[in-house]
Amino acid sequence: MAYELFDKRSSIYSDRTSTTMINDLVRTTRWNIGFQPYDGWWRRHRRLMHTSFHPKAVEAFHLIQVKHTRNLLRRLLHSPERYTRHIMHTAGAIIMRRMVSTFNLRMTLLGKCPKGPRYDNEIYIPVWVPGAEFQRKVASWRQVTKDMLELPFSETKRRMGQGNTELSFVSSNLSELDIRTTKDIDDEEIIKNTAMTIFIGGNDTTVHTIRAFVLAMALYPEVQKKPQQEIDDVLGLQRLPEVADMDTLPYVMGVCKESL
């Protein structure tokens, strides 16, 4: 039945439930793929995301991942007690190199956005009515989401205009847009929207996965010794692992997959 409904009849049953707070007040539906209805606007965002993040395409970002992973190791070496903060910094830096601290703070604020029937009902209470102060908070949350959308995108465009272009989802897609013979008026908006959805979707999930891995290694030191031994045996204590070593480290990759 699930196959029949969600695969064969996906055009009917793939839409998302609308929530008053997220969709109508904070107004994320326009840009956040996770809240967009299943229509042509969503498909354009999904198509752009897929062309940039299929397994072959992500190879272009391996050097960035390695660079920030090495920085994480240095931070852990010097202040291991701050490991959560280091992991948050690294996850955000890989996805969005600049403004990481500011955006982690804004992500925290956005995560406090309340949901549920109470707030879905209170949307209809005017802001001046006692008890409706949450609507003033909504205004600040709306500004948070606007800043998250606009600031990094504008900064990337500014740097591209100065010839200071680093490889990123935004820069590569804007460059490709410049050489296209046919363009739509909202092409840049779709690039901007998709980039921020990627940041929001990738930041917290990455942080919590790595924290779960750290917890597992602390709870089961006898398991932790096995991947460490495999790394030592394969690399001979001469260097740190590279992406190219993945196939020669099956136990390490097994631990990574189990963490995921």
pLDDT digits (tens, 9 = 90+) for 212-233: 999 999 999 999 999 999 999 9
Q: Using a CB cutoff of 8 Å and minimum separation of 24, what contacts does 117-121 make?
A: 119/20, 119/21, 120/19, 120/20, 120/21
pTM of this structure: 0.70
* Beta carbons of 192 and 153 less than 8 angstroms apart: yes
- Dump pLDDT digits (tens) for 136-151: 677 777 777 788 888 8
Q: At what angle do helices 134-161 and 169-179 cross, to 10 degrees?
A: 60
- Dump pLDDT digits (tens) for 60-99: 888 888 999 999 999 999 999 999 999 988 887 777 654 4
Q: How far is it, in rounded angstroms, from Cα 65 to Cα 129? A: 50
**What would the mean pLDDT of 194-201 be, rounded to a whole number?**
84
- Dump pLDDT digits (tens) for 94-120: 776 544 444 554 555 455 555 555 555
Instruction: Name the burial class of residue 26, with classes exposed (0-12), middle (13-18) and buried (19+) by CB atoms within 10 angstroms of its CB.
Output: buried
More confident site: 13 or 107 = 13
Instruction: Name the burial class of residue 99, with classes exposed (0-12), middle (13-18) and buried (19+) by CB atoms within 10 angstroms of its CB.
Output: middle
Domain locations in the chain?
2-201
**Residue labelled with tokens 């969503």:** 42
Q: How far is CA 103 from CA 89, 134, 136, 229, in A?
A: 10, 22, 21, 38
Q: At what angle do helices 40-53 and 169-179 cross, to 10 degrees?
A: 110
Count other C-beta atoms under 10 Å from residue 200's C-beta.
20
Half-sphere exposure of 152 (CA within 13 A, CB side): 28
Half-sphere exposure of 230 (CA within 13 A, CB side): 16
Which stretches within 26-168 are classed as H helix? 40-53, 62-78, 83-95, 100-111, 117-122, 134-161
State the Cα angle at 106 between 42 and 59, rounded to 5°.
55
Count other C-beta atoms under 10 Å from residue 172's C-beta.
15
What per-residue confidence (pLDDT) applies to 73?
95
Instruction: Name the burial class of residue 3, with classes exposed (0-12), middle (13-18) and buried (19+) by CB atoms within 10 angstroms of its CB.
Output: exposed
CATH number 1.10.630.10 given to 2-201: yes
State the Cα angle at 171 between 165 and 174, rounded to 5°.
125
